[in-house]
Structure 1
Amino acid sequence: MAWLSVLNRMSTMYRVVKWSQGSNEVCVLCKNASESRSHLFFECNFSAQVWEFIAKGLLCISFTTVWSEIITIISDKTREKKNLLCIRYAFQAVLYALWRERNKLKHGDKGLSLDVLKELLKRAFVTESV
């Protein structure tokens, strides 16, 4: 999934509208903008808050919600190996969680609140690091 997102091949509504006329391209997480890859990961207010909650402590002054800058960071092989691994893990975990939430909402299911989603991700990190 991370690889597809890097290649911009995810079926975001911005892309779906191009081959499916009449589809609604508005982001289901914030309902404020077109659901492009960059918006969904991490320009959307909802997704930006999730990303910040998980990644700000890892990235410190490098923290950003700009897609191209995040890709540069996770591709930086000069970073300390453990830090880079943690950043990449955080990136993939947040991508997956947001895509899952987006799909639930898109298909009529009830989504998780921002606080519950953050707590689930936090637990995943605590469990993995023990």
Structure 2
Amino acid sequence: MILRAREYAKPFTCYEIGLEDDIDLWDQPWHPSGTLSSLIPRSRTDYSLSSLNLLSEIFKDGTWNPLLDNPSLREAKTLIMEAMLNSDAINIPIWKPATDGVFTTKIGWETLRMKSGKPPWISSVWFAGNNPTHALTTWKALKQKLSTKDRLIKMGAVIDPICPLCKSAAESIDHLFFKCSYSAWLWKSILWRNGHHRAKNQSLLAEEDWLRHHSKGKEQATVAFKLCFSPLIHNIWMERNRRIFESSEKHKRLVLNQILTEISIKMNGLKIKDKISPRNISTATNLKYKHIPDDPSSRYCSWSPPNEDELKLNSDASLDSL
């Protein structure tokens, strides 16, 4: 890959000229303006220089090669003199984009890479306080780069196309986020806890656009709402992978609790007044766990801190039978 980039790098390189090393007279950028063959668009034979291939051959022992005394070669000689040859120095490659002329992989990458405008959703992914792992998963999802089943099938994979979460439709990015009934319930639960409601979920990009316009500002509740998106995307993707690769399932309420816990932890790490306690995430974010009517078996649960001289053990199941 590095060798393939040589042609792209040539316009950004030149040489500080000495004559101890050998430099191609015609095709290496020893002159600041480019190669001699490009600066003088005539063949070597026109200049009677076919026998000269190295820059060191034109200036020896303090004298110019007699071939350069020909009036028709004045242009070539002028270009060579402009390069300020120093017979006591060595040839040093110069990387022109760098202020000190030294090539580094960072400057090389920034110079040669194709640059495009930032997508509008960038602020919903890469921001202070967001979990890098969650941000990466969200970035891949918004770029349509997650290995969903529809993409794998297009690559030739022979797999079951059905979504492992809802088991009712073919899996794709837009289905997984948030047309799948499993992920739609999680998204609606997050919205509800933040005082929002969406009549119908749209595509992932459309939902992100809506979220971005409803999470502007630096208030605690706004920041918490913004922090919901990446953990939501990441946990949906992880649950999808768990069902495919581990053949195990998590109930959607457990996944929701995991998302809320992660938001609480991240909020406590931010420099915001009235930080959220992990045991009471509802203080300023409206993320309180409440009873949702679609599951008759669920009950509203409350939690209170233990006394100073006590230790409280929390469990997802009853301990009465122990």
1:1-130 residue pairs with structure 2 within 5 A?
1-58=137-194, 60-61=196-197, 65-66=201-202, 67-76=204-213, 79-82=216-219, 84-129=222-267, 130=276
* Contact kept? 1:30, 1:45, Cα under 8 Å: yes
Larger Rg, first or second structure (1 or 2): 2
* Contact kept? 1:30, 1:44, Cα under 8 Å: yes
How has the CA–CA distance of structure 1 residues 31 and 87 changed in structure 2, closer, same or farther, with 3 Å as cutoff? same
Structure with greater helix share of residues:
1
- Which runs of 5 or more structure 2 residues have no equivalent in the other structure? 1-136, 268-275, 277-322
Task: Give the Cα–Cα distance (whole angstroms) in 2 for the partners of residues 120 and 29 of structure 1.
Answer: 17
Moved more, 37-46 or 118-127: 118-127
Task: Give the Cα–Cα distance (whole angstroms) in 2 for the partners of residues 103 and 9 of structure 1.
Answer: 15
Deviation digits for residues 30-58 of structure 1 (CA, Å, limit 9, x no counterpart) = 11111111111111000111111123333
* Contact kept? 1:55, 1:63, Cα under 8 Å: no
Task: Give the Cα–Cα distance (whole angstroms) in 1 for the partners of residues 195 and 208 of structure 2.
Answer: 13
* Contact kept? 2:227, 2:263, Cα under 8 Å: no
Task: Give the Cα–Cα distance (whole angstroms) in 1 for the partners of residues 214 and 167 of structure 2.
Answer: 37
How has the CA–CA distance of structure 1 residues 61 and 114 changed in structure 2, closer, same or farther, with 3 Å as cutoff? closer
Q: Which amino acid aligns with 2:245?
A: H
Task: Give the Cα–Cα distance (whole angstroms) in 1 for the partners of residues 218 and 170 of structure 2.
Answer: 36
Moved more, 81-90 or 111-120: 81-90
Q: Which amino acid aligns with 1:79?
A: K
How has the CA–CA distance of structure 1 residues 106 and 81 changed in structure 2, closer, same or farther, with 3 Å as cutoff? same
Q: Indicate the SS of the match to 2:169.
A: coil
Could you tell me the TM-score, scaled by structure 2's length? 0.37
Task: Give the Cα–Cα distance (whole angstroms) in 2 for the partners of residues 20 and 84 of structure 1.
Answer: 43
* Contact kept? 1:13, 1:36, Cα under 8 Å: yes
Q: Indicate the SS of the match to 1:107.
A: helix
RMSD over aligned Cα atoms? 2.3
How has the CA–CA distance of structure 1 residues 62 and 108 changed in structure 2, closer, same or farther, with 3 Å as cutoff? closer
Task: Give the Cα–Cα distance (whole angstroms) in 1 for the partners of residues 253 and 212 of structure 2.
Answer: 29
Could you tell me the TM-score, scaled by structure 1's length? 0.84
Q: Which amino acid aligns with 1:112?
A: K
Task: Give the Cα–Cα distance (whole angstroms) in 1 for the partners of residues 236 and 168 of structure 2.
Answer: 16
Deviation at 1:103, TM superposition (A): 0.3
- Which runs of 5 or more structure 1 residues have no equivalent in the other structure? none
Moved more, 58-67 or 120-129: 58-67
Task: Give the Cα–Cα distance (whole angstroms) in 1 for the partners of residues 218 and 210 of structure 2.
Answer: 12
- Kindly report structure 1 stretches of 4+ aligned residues shifted beyond 4 Å: 61-64
* Contact kept? 2:150, 2:170, Cα under 8 Å: yes
Task: Give the Cα–Cα distance (whole angstroms) in 2 for the partners of residues 108 and 78 of structure 1.
Answer: 35
Q: Indicate the SS of the match to 2:196.
A: helix
Does 1 or 2 have the higher relative contact order (CA < 8 Å, sep 6+)? 1
